[in-house]
Structure 1
Amino acid sequence: MAISDKTRKKLWAKSGNRCSICKTELFSNKEKAEDLNIGEECHIISSKPTGPRYKEGLDDYDLYDNLVLLCRNHHKEIDTLTDTYTEELLRYIKQNHENWVSTTLNNSKTKKEKPKFISRITSGKELLNIISDSYGYRIDYDEVDNEEDADFIGGILQDLTDYGDISGMVEVYDKVKMALDLSKLLETIEEKGYFLFAEDNIENIKFKDGGTDKWKIATILIRKKDNPEIIKFDLSNETNKSDN
């Protein structure tokens, strides 16, 4: 059997058009750009005896409960690192992501949108502090013009989420080296004509069973240097001070 249209729509809707692991937006049809779809409907339990996490006896392997929406990178990762990404872990990831999507949508409906300002990051240590021990990531970037930039931005965002995922498992010595590597990464980003903005917040997450928990969520934005949304302040310039 194949995944039905009804199941496909339910999976994408409940996943919020985001990868269940890195929260990357999977489908974009922005103006002046070709439609880009990097989302993949991944089986938790494979229907093939030689496939990842195969289990005999399921009536239908294409049901909603056996599917998780991921980006291409994380699809490849879960099907390669099967000892790490067990059936139980993937079901946990799927449920937590759908809870996060539901909470985010509910908050956006009930809260009035306010102007949001996020600081540019220039220090690897500062960036590491933001992404360390995060339970989730909100990621955005300016539209890319070519495949080289797409590979570059995609690689940067993947590296940052990977650093965040392993940061809680390394010693202080390794964290110092990671911070240095991130400083060099920031230099490379700026050499390519981009700035990186980031922040972290502790958010109250509500679950379907009525329980709540506090999660650290990191927001990471990559913007072109000429993006008109960027507001520049010269704090050393006396003209910025009020005359009153």
Structure 2
Amino acid sequence: MAISDRTRKSLWAKSGNRCSICKTELFSSKQDTEEFNIGEECHIISSKTNGPRHKPNIEDYDLFDNLILLCRNHHREIDELTDTYTEELLRYIKLNHENWVQSTINNAINSDKKTKPKFLTRITSGKELLNIIADSHGYRTDYDEVDNEEDAKYIGGVLQDLVDYGDISGMVETYYKVQMGFSLKKLLGDLEEKGYYLFGERNVERIKYENGKTDKWSVATIVIKKKDSSEIIKVDLNEKEKNTST
């Protein structure tokens, strides 16, 4: 079997385009560098009988849990020093690195949220919503306090669906993206029937790591508000046009 597109995308996204050991940036958009892509998708347990850390009778060696993203140097190192880089240690390194990436993104998002007030536009189009969430590295989500368990499950499900749509959008053909946009349109209609509006935007934000280096990440902001929320500012565009013309 081979690594699926969805597994590959998840591996790179959750690893933050960084080696899980040395945190080196793996894929660079700078065309003049000698190494344009030094990232390698490495197996923790090899499928080959004489491969590093091999175990027999595993149904699929190409699943996400058996893969770790590394630079070329560390890929070679873990496969040569198998006594040092055991299966247990590599799983710990993988989990620790993915948590570090998520924590770094979340901290940057939360910091930005505290320092910059947001004025978001209400989203009424499924296509517009898909453009906001598609291929995002991170998601900033918020919602009004829910009144009952049913609404809690519903709003939680909507936010999770949006993240899932965003994660898989880069792996589907144009035909399916149109279908996704239509499904999102229905989702927006259902939200409105239940008394909610959805607001959002997409930004490219600079994420700073502990070592001082920075990356640019696409972050989707999604906020669900009750229709009667006092935070919603209603603007009459027709009235604005009248005032402008007079």
**What TM-score comes out, normalization by structure 2 length?**
0.59
The range that moved more, 126-135 or 90-99, is 90-99
Change (3 A) 1:100 1:236: same
- How far apart are 1:105 and its partner, in Å? 5.9
Aligned equivalents of 1:122 and 1:138: distance in 2? 19
Matched with 1:98 is 103
Deviation sequence 1:197-226 (CA, Å, 0-9, x none) = 010100011112222110000000000000
Percent of residue pairs bearing the same amino acid type: 55
Q: Distance in 2 between matches of 1:106 and 1:147?
A: 30
Within a 5 Å distance, the mapping from 1:11-50 to structure 2 comes to: none
Unpaired segments of 5 or more residues in structure 2?
1-13, 15-61, 67-90
Task: Give per-residue Cα distances to partners, 1:110-168, cap 9 Å, x unaligned.
Answer: xxx45421000000000000000100011100000011101110110010000001011
Aligned counterpart for 2:197 among listed residues 195, 198, 217: 195
1:32 paired residue number = none
Shift of 1:102: 4.1
Assess if the C-alpha contact under 8 Å between 1:119 and 1:199 holds in 2. yes
Cα distance in 2 between the residues matched to 1:168 and 1:203: 19
* Residues 196 and 226, structure 2, Cα contact 8 Å, conserved in 1: yes
- Read off the aligned partner of 1:91 and give its amino acid letter: N
Letter in 1 for 2:205: E
The SS at the match of 2:228 is coil
Matched, 1:219 2:221: yes
Tell me if structure 2 keeps the 8 A contact 1:134–1:216: yes
Structure 1 residues 136, 239: CA separation in 2 closer, same or farther (over 3 Å shift)?
A: closer
Of the three residues 41, 58, 63, the one matched with 1:83 is 63
**Normalised TM-score (structure 1):** 0.60
Change (3 A) 1:229 1:214: same
Q: Pick from 165, 169, 174: which aligns with 1:167?
A: 169
Quick one: distance in 2 between partners of 1:192 and 1:222? 12
SS at match of 1:210: coil
Aligned match of 1:181: 183
Q: Which residue of 1 aligns with 2:41?
A: none
Structure 2 residue identity aligned to 1:103: A
1:77-156 aligned within 5 A: 83-86=63-66, 87=91, 89-104=94-109, 113-156=115-158
Deviation at 1:186, TM superposition (A): 0.3
CA contact (8 A) 1:234 1:240 kept: no
Task: Tell me the CA shift for residue 103 of structure 1.
Answer: 3.4
* Distance in 2 of aligned mates of 1:221 and 1:91: 30
Cα-Cα RMSD = 2.6
Distance 2:111 2:117 in 1: 19
User: Residues 28-60 of structure 1: CA distance to partner in whole angstroms, max 9, x if unpaired?
Assistant: xxxxxxxxxxxxxxxxxxxxxxxxxxxxxxxxx
Question: What letter is aligned with 1:119?
Answer: T
Q: How many angstroms does 1:108 deviate by?
A: 6.8
- Which has more helix, going by share of residues? 2
1:241 equivalent in alignment to 2:246: no
Structure of greater Rg: 2
* Counterpart secondary structure, 1:226: coil
